[in-house]
Structure 1
Amino acid sequence: MQRIITSALFVVLLLGVDWYVFQAVRTVSQGATAGTQRLISGGYWLLTLISLVGVAWMAVSRGTPPTALRTYLTSAILILFVSKLVVVLFLLVDDAGRLVRYAASKFGTQPAPIGDDGSPGISRSQFINRLALLAGGIPFAALLWGMARGATNYQVKRVVLKFANLPASFDGFRVLQISDLHTGSFNANPEPLERAVALINKQNADLVFMTGDLVNNVATEVEPHIGTLAKIQSRHPIYSVLGNHDYADYVDWSERGGATAKNANLDRLKQNHAKIGWQLLLDESQTIERNGEKIAILGVQNWGAQMRFPKYGNLARAHAGSGDAAFKILLSHDPSHWEAQVLEYPDIDLTLSGHTHGMQFGVNLPGFKWSPVQYVYKQWAGLYQQGKQHLYVNTGLGFIGYPGRVGFLPEITVFELRRA
């Protein structure tokens, strides 16, 4: 019953937004012929009808495994809705101005707005409506581009980090991080990940890490890609950790065998890490040695400070295994772990995380970055430092939900460690 009420309210909201935007469409098309106006109006409401049918279908089929059709239909409806909301925002500002002018006119004579006094040229109303539709077209075009190209437009980011306590033998050591592959979103298409792996290998890294979320929901999603991911090259063992999606907590297991089936799925995922050739760190530590000098690699299971994310990791256990290594790198999927626990261990020099994806949408310019995810996560993309400790949040290689990326493109990060 609750699901039906929620869906009904969403439909009412969609219709309200559509009606409001249609007023702008009708105003802008006033100069067209009657036939063209009918064509524009018919096309507009046909698109609205298709969106409503899509919402109804998704409400009825909720709980079924996601398919490519469902994913792209959901994204198309979302893109239309977001674009229309931008239009509505402009129109509301204009209508608020109209209301103020109307109220002011009751207390004195107001000059007629430019363009609304019968003079040649478009009216103020037409100008505002055209501006609103143009503004709505910006996210529409950007989000469509994000689906067509952004999702697999892989970017290599290079970061130089200097540490006074880095052993001399590791000066110039190159570490590569990938995160959030979400292989279930590739629908068994090997081409994008093959390009990503070729780009990873081109970096000639000494050490490679994968910081969680190998799959969206279940272990079988990665299996078509095991052969591709196994081609990733590193001079030392490739280490990985689990992310929140890897535990299949978002799957309804009641009709799939319950807790027994869920545990079997996690075991299968762990085995898939091994089949790829990755060493999965489960609250433990390993060492890398050069010329008798060592650095420690710590890896914890997912631990998130946000209440809705699981706290499986045991940092104390992983740290205890790192001994007195002079330099320590921690792999922890969720960046909220850093302030919540990691900073209590001052000998953890560098923490590598993922999880946020940069919300797969935002503005990412030199010197300025913005994404809605920053209102949820204090550390959400790029490099952060507190005292001598550093955190890097990788925005991910894959995608989930919206099958695209705008601003925060899929990332391969290469760190060059230097001795200060």
Structure 2
Amino acid sequence: MLVASQLYLFVRGDRALQQSRWSLRRKKLLRLALIGFFVSTLIIYIAFLSRWAPLEHPSPLILYLFIYPTAIWSFGSLFSFLLLLLADLTGYCARLIRAKVVQQNEASALPLDPSRRMFMQTSLGALTAAPILVSGYGASYASNGWGIEEVHLSLSSSHPFDPPLKVVQVSDIHSGLFMTPDQMRHYAEAIRQLGPDLFVLTGDFIANSAVDLPPCIKEMARVESRYGSFAVLGNHEHWYGEPEKIITAFEGAGISILHNSHQILEIDRGSIAIAGIDDLRVGRPNLGRALDGLNPTLPTILLSHRPEIFPRAAARNITLTLSGHYHGGQVKVSVLGLSISPAHLLSPYPEGLYRLRNSHLYVNRGLGTTGTPVRVNAPPEITLFHLT
């Protein structure tokens, strides 16, 4: 789709250039520039898709001069392509209808007003440029638009925690091209400032290479929490890494991986259990094993990368399930009070807080991005829970 969109945009741009009123010399120069731009874009696509270019920790010059602009252009131009294609199809249908009407009326078509044509072309140009601008804004938003979401919940009505237990959750870090060690260090410092009693991570630590895992572990291990740090694996750990080695690396850094298992924490406000399962789709999840031997009356937090475990967790009286995976849709449009995004089409739990009987689910929007470094209306988040 990317290659097809680029070829279409080149043909469309070249046609508009030839129809312009510029001098022949300027047209030739602009055409050469247009060819150079699209050829270089396609070369970058091929280079990175075939791993000719180094993907691991490129220099800031390569990252911000080549990779980010190409990613922003690719995402935005895909929507520009769709808008132009729709406009061309609409124009083609309109011309067919107009020719049919003229033929039936046996009359000549009225000449088009040049000023109206210019207005239409300018409006179409602005409309097709808009996705590129939104894409650029979304890349900045993904890096700088993060915030801390605070959630107050009751874990136990009979023996409430007083003062509340502070639990910090992060998810979908996606260490890699668009999540650098410096960014992760910044997030880790923000988490440290919250002074968590418990720190949990709900999977997808890497983007597309296990090479990017060590800096993620290093920065997240800097977070000090009173009762420990716990994590579960996501689908990206299975796709791009070896789960056994990843678990060993986390454990060596002091972060416990709950792989279909649980731990009981004795805290000064009572006891609490924390359990975790493997990824629901590409892992080997086993909720029964994770909860085996747990007292059903004990307040329990379940970590699951994907949120679709929630109905089963609620049936097992799990007090709180924490998940991620969907990034809140990453690019979300809100229309008439409705949110539309890929996540909202794929899952009943795209983001935020849900309740089923006495159980709660919270789906974190994640810190990183996947596919494109763009977020729109779905900011990255660190979640701070106050549990009583």
Q: TM-score range by the shorter chain?
A: 0.7 to 0.9
Q: How many angstroms does 1:302 deviate by?
A: 1.1
Helix, strand or coil for the counterpart of 1:213? coil
- Equivalent residue number for residue 104 of structure 2: 107
- Equivalent residue number for residue 386 of structure 2: 416
**Deviations for 1:36-77, whole angstroms, at most 9, x for unmatched residues?**
444443332332222333344456x26987455696586244
Distance of 1:153 and 1:37 partners within structure 2: 41
- Equivalent residue number for residue 281 of structure 1: 258
Mapped contact 1:303–1:312 kept (Cα < 8 A): yes
Match of 1:116 among 112, 119, 135: 112
Q: Closer, same or farther in 2 for the Cα pair 1:228/1:15, shift >3 Å?
A: closer
Distance of 1:109 and 1:379 partners within structure 2: 59
Identity over aligned residues, as a percent?
A: 28
- Equivalent residue number for residue 219 of structure 2: 228
Q: Closer, same or farther in 2 for the Cα pair 1:104/1:154, shift >3 Å?
A: same
Mapped contact 1:179–1:210 kept (Cα < 8 A): yes
Using the size of structure 1 for normalisation, the TM-score is 0.77
- Equivalent residue number for residue 344 of structure 1: 315
Q: How many angstroms does 1:21 deviate by?
A: 4.7
Q: How many angstroms does 1:298 deviate by?
A: 1.4
- Equivalent residue number for residue 270 of structure 1: 247
Distance of 1:227 and 1:58 partners within structure 2: 27
Q: How many angstroms does 1:321 deviate by?
A: 3.5
- Equivalent residue number for residue 124 of structure 2: 132
Match of 2:352 among 363, 371, 382: 382
Distance of 2:375 and 2:4 partners within structure 1: 29
Q: How many angstroms does 1:103 deviate by?
A: 2.8
Distance of 2:79 and 2:256 partners within structure 1: 42
Distance of 2:37 and 2:82 partners within structure 1: 16
Q: How many angstroms does 1:240 deviate by?
A: 0.8
Q: How many angstroms does 1:270 deviate by?
A: 1.4
- Equivalent residue number for residue 257 of structure 1: none
Mapped contact 1:226–1:275 kept (Cα < 8 A): no
- Equivalent residue number for residue 366 of structure 2: 396
Q: Closer, same or farther in 2 for the Cα pair 1:10/1:362, shift >3 Å?
A: closer
Distance of 1:384 and 1:236 partners within structure 2: 26
Q: Closer, same or farther in 2 for the Cα pair 1:22/1:378, shift >3 Å?
A: farther
Distance of 1:282 and 1:156 partners within structure 2: 27
Distance of 1:415 and 1:11 partners within structure 2: 44
Distance of 2:373 and 2:76 partners within structure 1: 11
Helix, strand or coil for the counterpart of 2:360? strand
Q: Are 2:30 and 1:44 equivalent residues in the alignment?
A: no
Q: Closer, same or farther in 2 for the Cα pair 1:10/1:190, shift >3 Å?
A: closer
Helix, strand or coil for the counterpart of 1:240? strand
Distance of 2:52 and 2:308 partners within structure 1: 29
Matches within 5 A, 1:12-411: 14-24=6-16, 30-58=20-48, 61=50, 66-67=55-56, 68=58, 72=68, 75=71, 76-108=73-105, 116-117=112-113, 122-124=115-117, 126-148=118-140, 150-162=142-154, 165=157, 167-169=159-161, 172-185=164-177, 189-217=180-208, 219-247=210-238, 249-250=239-240, 265-290=242-267, 293-304=270-281, 310-339=282-311, 341-345=312-316, 347-363=317-333, 368-411=338-381
Q: How many angstroms does 1:293 deviate by?
A: 3.0
Q: Closer, same or farther in 2 for the Cα pair 1:396/1:91, shift >3 Å?
A: same
Q: How many angstroms does 1:275 deviate by?
A: 3.3
Distance of 1:278 and 1:363 partners within structure 2: 36
Q: How many angstroms does 1:371 deviate by?
A: 1.7
Distance of 2:9 and 2:178 partners within structure 1: 33
**Structure 2, gaps ≥5 residues long:** none
**Deviations for 1:104-141, whole angstroms, at most 9, x for unmatched residues?**
3333489978x9346xxx223x3233222212222212
CA RMSD across the alignment: 3.4
Q: Give the number of equivalent residue pairs.
A: 380
Helix, strand or coil for the counterpart of 2:177? helix
Mapped contact 2:272–2:300 kept (Cα < 8 A): yes
Quick one: which amino acid aligns to residue 143 of structure 1? S
**Structure 1, gaps ≥5 residues long:** 1-8, 252-264, 305-309
